[in-house]
Amino acid sequence: MAIIGGGLSGLATAAKLHRLDASIQLVLFERGDRAGGVIHSEQVGPFLIDHGADMFSTKPSAALDFCRELGLEDQLIEPQLTGRGARIVRNGKLVPIPDGFVVMRATQLWPMLTTPLLSLRGKLRFLLERWVKPAKDGEDESIAAFVRRRMGVEVLDRIVAPLSAGIYTADVTKLSMQTTMRAVASMESKYGSLAKATAIRRRKGEDSVERNSTGARYGQFRAFKGGMIDLIQGLAETLPSGSIKLTCPVDSIRPHGEGWIVSEAGTDHSFDHVIVAVPPFSASELLNDVVPKAAAELRMIESASTAIVVLAVSAKDIQRPVKTFGFVVPLSEQRRILAGSFASQKFSGRAPEDHVLIRVFIGGAMQSEFLKKSDDELIQIAREELSDLIGLTGNPVVTRVVHWKQAMPQYHVGHGDRVRIIDEDIDGVPGLSYLSNALHGVGITPVIQQADHVAREVVSRFTPSGDSANSKGIG
């Protein structure tokens, strides 16, 4: 069996397959010189730097369950207890997110009425949400349209948009409610308003964690002591020796009889099943002659780029320290950064106690022009912005600039329909599977959930009566 792509999608699928049936012969082709894709960690002296995601959610439990299954649970750590919470820049100051506000829903009323993020007019408009008529059932709309319609422009621009951009690096006027915030959209559909849904959930005790957004909610996340690279290494180590082929770009795939031919560096390899686990544009090129309808839809999925500027600084050089995990920046503030994360505040072991490790995010869908600048210019931008926001002075001890080009798929309005076409077209071809973070959720947990689904589906196809995979000739 061939797996094309050695990022988290491909690696997790390979590990799942091997654990479900160790007799399956796996070959994973990765064009780069290492596995893991955007997940990587680097130790620079006493500083541990994550280049991509630095934690994962335990809700749903797919990622945590797999860590337990792989024997990695003892390597996991929770966020530190002090400083839990995040802030939003408002008029150049870092203002706490209203307690109990989770992405786009307020689980507590009083913090919304007292926050300096909103004017009196904005607060009154927020209170009217209870009486706003719901949209038509199942109708997709943008996050911006949903929030503006239900809670007003200020809640959108000053709270929801920067929080959403911090997750998706996206344009909220295009981002789909049904595929990024389906649970919230369903609350409107079921209860008529978010206020009514929240009141009912409060009575049932269903919002107890969300109501404490500065504390308990952060307990739902985990990181690795040695950085997220520990997850990648843990997955790779479960696979048979030699099954991961690095610097092996796949040129094409084509059906051949009841199997497949995978062409890599001019050499043809035969397999019974092919799993494509690369970003949508690359996948569209591989799949164009096999599933043209799916390939056309994959080409329509846009992706955003970002740069992460990492600064290790002396704690004494921060004149206005903020004991929080990070902050996000609304576009209305007209700044040159999207967000900042105090990595050493979030997790232990990232920096010495007298230093702070900061990750600054630049670019995304709305500020891509900054990504044309040199690394030195990006570092200077980060330093200037942090100087203004937290009083950063002096010279960093360590600097790094990490570029992720076209790494964040954009779930635009209509994404759900697009995904259904892709899935149906590929499902109709025996021996072919596709997964990536461009379809059913971004982030580590949704990707591992997809990997589990694909692995089980593949094994069930070859072992419908419980026969061994090997007896069916998977290779």
The string of pLDDT tens digits covering residues 123-146 is 999 999 999 999 887 789 999 999
Look up the CATH number of the domain holding residue 110.
1.10.3110.10
Confidence of residue 466 (pLDDT cuts 50, 70, 90): very low
Shared-domain flag, residues 296 and 309: no
My answer on whether 292 and 417 are in the same domain is yes
Query: Is the confidence at residue 465, as pLDDT, over 90?
Result: no
What is the model's pLDDT at position 211? 59
Give the DSSP H/E element, type plus range, for residue 312: strand 303-314
**426 and 399 assigned to the same domain:** no
pLDDT in tens, 314-372: 999 999 999 899 999 999 999 999 999 999 999 999 999 999 999 999 999 999 999 99
Q: What is residue 166's predicted lDDT score, i.e. its pLDDT?
A: 80
User: Which CATH number belongs to the domain containing residue 11 in this structure?
Assistant: 3.50.50.60
66-92 per-position pLDDT tens digit: 999 999 999 999 999 888 889 999 999
Which residues constitute the domain of residue 257?
Answer: 2-38+228-301+413-472
Residues 350 and 447 in one domain: no
Domain check: are 441 and 311 in the same one? no
- Asked if the structure places residue 44 within a domain, the reply is no
Q: Is residue 47 part of a domain?
A: no
What was the pLDDT predicted at 210?
A: 64
Report which DSSP code applies to 372.
G
pLDDT bucket at 217, cuts 50 / 70 / 90: confident
Question: Strands of 2-4's sheet, edge to edge?
Answer: 244-245, 27-29, 2-4, 274-276, 432-434
Checking if the pLDDT of 223 tops 80, the result is yes
The answer as to whether 45 is a domain residue is: no
pLDDT in tens, 90-127: 999 999 999 989 878 999 999 999 999 999 999 999 99
Is 70 found in the same domain as 155? Answer: no
Number of residues that this document lists for the chain: 475
The last residue of one of the domains, among 153, 181, 212, is 212
Contacts 24+ apart (CB under 8 A), 186-191: 187/105, 188/134, 188/135, 188/146, 188/150, 189/134, 189/135, 189/137, 189/138
3-state secondary structure of 413: coil
46 part of a folded domain: no
- Confirm whether 43 is domain-assigned: no
Final residue before a domain boundary, out of 361, 394, 409? 409
Are 425 and 284 members of one domain?
yes
Number of domains present in the structure of the chain:
3
Q: Verify that 236 and 296 share a domain, yes or no.
A: yes
Whether residues 319 and 374 share a domain: the answer is: yes
Question: Among 388, 409, 430, where does a domain finish?
Answer: 409
Check whether residue 29 and residue 66 sit in a common domain. no
Question: Which residues in 343-448 belong to E strands, given as ranges?
Answer: 355-363, 398-409, 432-434
Same domain, 243 and 140: no
Same domain, 248 and 284: yes
Does the residue 14 lie in any domain? yes
User: What confidence score (pLDDT) does residue 95 get?
Assistant: 97
Taking the model in full, what pTM does it have?
0.93
Distance CA 372, CA 125 (A): 39
| Domain-embedded: residue 50 | no
